[in-house]
Amino acid sequence: MKIFLCPNLEKKACMEYLHEACEILISKGCGLYADKALSGYIDDKSVVFGTPSELVPTCDCILVVGGDGTILKHAKKFALYKKAVLGLNSGRLGFMATLEHNEINLLERFCDGDYTVSNRMMLKAVAHLKSGEIKEFDALNDIVFAKGDGCKIADFEVSKNGNVVTSIRADGLIFSTPTGATAYSLSAGGPIIEPELDSIEFTQICPHSLFARSMLFTPDSELTVKYSANNNPAVRLEVDGVAKLLISPDDRVSIMRSEKVVSLIDISGSSFYDSVNRKLARPLKG
C-alpha cells in the first residue's frame, strides 16, 4: 500500500505522532510518500519525496496528521484525485479524525484492509457577479454569508427553483453539508445530521425573528441567495471558514451539490454517535 503523508508542522505533537505512524506503516510493508517541501522535517530515509501532483495519483490513500482544519484542507485538496483520507488527530477536537494517538496501533488493522470508508458530499457555491464574472467554490463543511464591515444587519432572500423559501433579516446564513452540521451550523442552533444522509442544511445566524428555524433540503436542490442592506455594504462569502469574496446586492449566489466527494477512512469502528458523545458532549480541556 502506498500512503501520502500530510502532517501539520504547527501542531506540537504532530511530528512525534507521524514518526510513530511511519514506524508501524513501514513494518507492514507500506510505501511512504510526502511533499518535497517536507524533506527537511521528516527524517526518514524510507519516505520518497516529490510534488503532490506527481505522487498523489500513484498513492492509495492520504494520511493527515493534525486537527480538523488540517484534515479539512487536505481532504478538499485531494478530492480531485478521489483518494480516501485517514485522519490522525494531533489537535484539540479532531471530530473529523478517525484515530486518536492512543489508537495509533490500529494502523496495523488498516494495513490489513480492516477498515470502512465514509463518502461525504460537498457543496458548491456559484457566484454570479454584477461584472458578469462567475466564481465557483467547493466546501466540505459549509458556505456562509456573513455581514461585512459597515453592515449592521442584512435582509436575505433564499429561493429554490424560482420560488422564495424565506425572506429574513439576520446577521448571516449558513448552508452546510451533513459533515458540516457538527461545525458552525451546530453552534448557530442547527441540528446534527448523520454524515451519510445527503442533504443541504440551511441555518440563519442571529435571525431577527421569533420563528426562524433550520431547514433541510434534498441534496439535488439548487438554492439562490440575494440580499439587501442599508447603504449597500458588502456581505462576505466564506467557504469552510475562509473569506473568499465580497458580495454586493447586485450579485447572486447559487448553492448546490458539488460533483466532488470526500472519502474518509474509519479504522476504529466507532459509530458517529460515539464521536458526538465523546467529542461534543463534554467540554474541551486546555
Active site amino acids: 68
Phi first, then psi: give them for residue 167, nearest 5 degrees: -125, 120
Is 250 strand, coil or helix? coil
Spatial contact of 107 and 260, defined as CB atoms under 8 Å apart: no
Please say whether the beta carbons of 252 and 156 come within 8 A: no
Report the run of H or E that residue 54 belongs to, with start and end.
Answer: helix 52-55
| 38, 66, 141, 189 from 200: Cα distances, Å | 37, 27, 11, 15
Q: Give the C-alpha separation, 144 to 155, whole Å.
A: 15
Residue 262: name the closest of 151, 180, 159, 205 by CA.
180
Amino acid at 206: C
Instruction: Return phi, psi of residue 140, to 5°.
Output: -90, -35
What cell numbers appear for 224 in the block? 439562490
Q: What angle do CA 80, 256, 229 make, to 5 degrees?
A: 125
Q: Which three cell numbers stand for residue 142?
A: 459549509
User: What are the cell numbers at 57?
Assistant: 495519483
Closest CA relative to residue 53, chosen from 40, 37, 31: 37
Instruction: For residue 10, report the phi and psi dihedrals to the nearest 5 degrees.
Output: -80, -15
